[in-house]
Structure 1
Amino acid sequence: MEKEIRIYNYGFKELRTYLFVALFVLGNLLLPQLCHLIPNGGKILLPIYFFTLIASYKFGIKVGLMTAVLSPIINSILFGMPALAILPAILTKSVILAIAAAFIASKTNKISLMNLLAIILIYQVVGTLAEWAMTSSFYVAVQDFRIGIPGMLVQLLGCYFLLKLER
């Protein structure tokens, strides 16, 4: 089922851009902390991508890319997660996610499970290939597909329902 939604695309000169970025980065700081209370919660639930997907889909490429870049960096600085060794792979996947979400949202102006599934598959497959190139380890690169399926499902369903809440 698809629902037409309003897509915003704020500019760099608008205060709203930075307020939304701050809000989504805060979400991407808090959600991983909650998930890390569960053993391997970060690896299983992939929380660092959740609010980046919403930011990019609803508020466009500028809010999405700033959220995608700032969230992992600030998390790494404040909490040591993601570890510096995997930060490039996380940043790569986050940026791919932001670009894919903003692009699909702008082309369809609809929220659907299929749109979100396409975004998740794009950022995971392309990100996995990039991570494999960075690490030279296929086993490490496919970790999200080995143990992160619950997180992808949370992204799919959670983001779908949050994006549908538009007033």
Structure 2
Amino acid sequence: METTVKLYSLPYRSVKTYLAALLFALGNIVLPQLFHLMPQGGVTWLPIYFFTLVGAYKYGWRVGLLTAVLSPVVNSALFGMPAMAVLPAILLKSLLLALIAGYAASYFKRASLGLLLGVVLAYQAVGTLGEWAMKGDFWLAAQDFRIGIPGMLLQVFGGWLFINRVIRK
């Protein structure tokens, strides 16, 4: 499914970049708190990545990178989630997501379900390899593919809905 939507690539010198990143980071702070109310909500639904995907795809990789760093660090500092032990892996995946989503949006200039699926699979696959290198445990590194499928689907379908319908302009 595809629709025409305006995609941006905001520069670092623009105040809009920082305002957008702040709003998306806030979303990435509130959403995980809601999902952490259910057992295994964080590892199942992967909510810390949702607004990083949306921000990077809609407003460019710079907004994505700011959101990708700010969200997990603030969440960890305020709520202890993600735990310090997993923060490097989450930051790696967040940064990969921001870069891949921003690149896909600027290259393809559209937001389709297929493209978002490709973005999510790409950052997860590369991120899993990076996490495996960090931790030396493939089974642990592949946790998102074992437990987080609902979260990846939320990113694809929810991200498409958010980009194409909620913040269309």
The answer to whether TM tops 0.5 is yes
**Structure 2 equivalent of residue 126 of structure 1:** 126
In 2: Cα distance, 1:36 partner to 1:81 partner: 9
User: 1:97-138 CA deviation, whole Å, 9 max, x = no partner?
Assistant: 001000000011111010000000001000000000000001
Which segments of 5 or more consecutive residues in structure 1 lack a partner in the other structure? none
In 2: Cα distance, 1:51 partner to 1:10 partner: 16
**Structure 1 equivalent of residue 65 of structure 2:** 65
**Structure 1 equivalent of residue 2 of structure 2:** 2
Q: Once the 2 structures are TM-superposed, how far is the Cα of residue 53 of structure 1 from its aligned partner?
A: 0.1
Matched to 2:106, the amino acid is S
Please list every run of at least 4 consecutive aligned residues from structure 1 whose deviation after the TM superposition is greater than 2 angstroms: none
In 1: Cα distance, 2:149 partner to 2:9 partner: 30
**Structure 1 equivalent of residue 103 of structure 2:** 103
**Structure 2 equivalent of residue 139 of structure 1:** 139
Moved more, 62-71 or 4-13: 4-13
In 1: Cα distance, 2:126 partner to 2:96 partner: 8
* Structure 1 position 36 matched with structure 2 position 33: no
- The count of aligned residue pairs is 167
In 2: Cα distance, 1:83 partner to 1:152 partner: 21
Normalised by the length of structure 1, the TM-score is 0.98
Q: Once the 2 structures are TM-superposed, how far is the Cα of residue 10 of structure 1 from its aligned partner?
A: 1.6
User: 1:80-99 CA deviation, whole Å, 9 max, x = no partner?
Assistant: 00000110000000000001
**Structure 2 equivalent of residue 54 of structure 1:** 54
Q: Once the 2 structures are TM-superposed, how far is the Cα of residue 142 of structure 1 from its aligned partner?
A: 0.5
What is the SS of the residue equivalent to 1:9?
A: coil
What is the SS of the residue equivalent to 2:60?
A: helix
In 2: Cα distance, 1:128 partner to 1:59 partner: 26
Normalised by the length of structure 2, the TM-score is 0.97
Contact 1:4 1:109 in 2 (8 A): no
Q: Once the 2 structures are TM-superposed, how far is the Cα of residue 13 of structure 1 from its aligned partner?
A: 1.9
In 2: Cα distance, 1:6 partner to 1:117 partner: 19
**Structure 2 equivalent of residue 164 of structure 1:** 164
Which segments of 5 or more consecutive residues in structure 2 lack a partner in the other structure? none
What percent of counterpart residues are identical? 54
**Structure 2 equivalent of residue 21 of structure 1:** 21
Contact 1:52 1:97 in 2 (8 A): yes
What is the SS of the residue equivalent to 1:158?
A: helix
Contact 2:52 2:64 in 1 (8 A): yes
